Chains A and B, each alone.
Chain A
Amino acid sequence: GEDVEQSLFLSVREGDSSVINCTYTDSSSTYLYWYKQEPGAGLQLLTYIFSNMDMKQDQRLTVLLNKKDKHLSLRIADTQTGDSAIYFCAENGGYQKVTFGTGTKLQVIP
């Protein structure tokens, strides 16, 4: 079955770059997503990448995909305190089911 794994916690200083990593197992994934969840709020789609791409940049966000290693990363440039949240990696694999990772809690230190 599908499995998506992430490290649980990341702490960075304000202004630095953050890199959140994710690995997945489903080789049939067509889309890979990054969602942000703030306390008490629903999930917000930040960005996504098609499986035939290896990089996507969107303002401060850069997504890198290594399809061979089934590794996805999200880089946030110039991290701000407002970026503190839990970040979920998700993949859209077989049967169009979206499977989420366990989430990485990003703490930004002022």
Chain B
Amino acid sequence: EAGVAQSPRYKIIEKRQSVAFWCNPISGHATLYWYQQILGQGPKLLIQFQNNGVVDDSQLPKDRFSAERLKGVDSTLKIQPAKLEDSAVYLCASSLIKGSEAFFGQGTRLTVV
């Protein structure tokens, strides 16, 4: 079974630039999560989708972050404009149903300079 795919693996941008990350969850998984993991901290949930609807985006900085999952499969997370404090690993995860085991991708390491 293929796992959760994320791209790119690494990205370096200057502050105030824009960046987008892509996630392809495990086939058939209805729930998709985006987490932000700052160095030395645990992952923090940014947004949770159930199919193509948003379940929880309470910790998403909506002035600069946006995410979509238009067809209920792939998802993109965008940051515009980026700040230095956005430097982190962005992890995508999916689960078969809400609350079941979440499988994680390898993450995208973002460095904002």
Contacts and interface: CB of A to CB of B under 8 A. Distances in A.
A49 to B, nearest CB: 12
Interface residues of A, number: 24
Interface of A: 4, 30-31, 33, 35, 40-45, 48, 88, 90, 92, 95-103
A43 B55 CA distance: 22
Contacts of A99: 45
B42 A88 contact: yes
Interface string B80-113: 0000000000010100001101111111000000
Interface in B9-48: 33, 35, 40-45, 48
Interface of B: 4, 33, 35, 40-45, 48, 55-56, 91, 93, 98-99, 101-107
Given A31-B99, A98-B33, A103-B42, 20 more contacts: A4-B42, A35-B104, A42-B104, A42-B106, A42-B107, A43-B43, A43-B91, A43-B104, A44-B104, A88-B42, A95-B55, A95-B56, A96-B98, A97-B48, A100-B42, A100-B43, A101-B42, A102-B40, A102-B42, A103-B41
23 contacts: A4-B42, A30-B99, A35-B104, A40-B106, A41-B106, A42-B4, A42-B91, A42-B104, A44-B104, A45-B101, A45-B102, A45-B103, A48-B101, A96-B48, A96-B99, A98-B33, A99-B45, A100-B35, A100-B43, A102-B41, A102-B42, A103-B41, A103-B42
A102 B39 CA distance: 10
B47 to A, nearest CB: 11
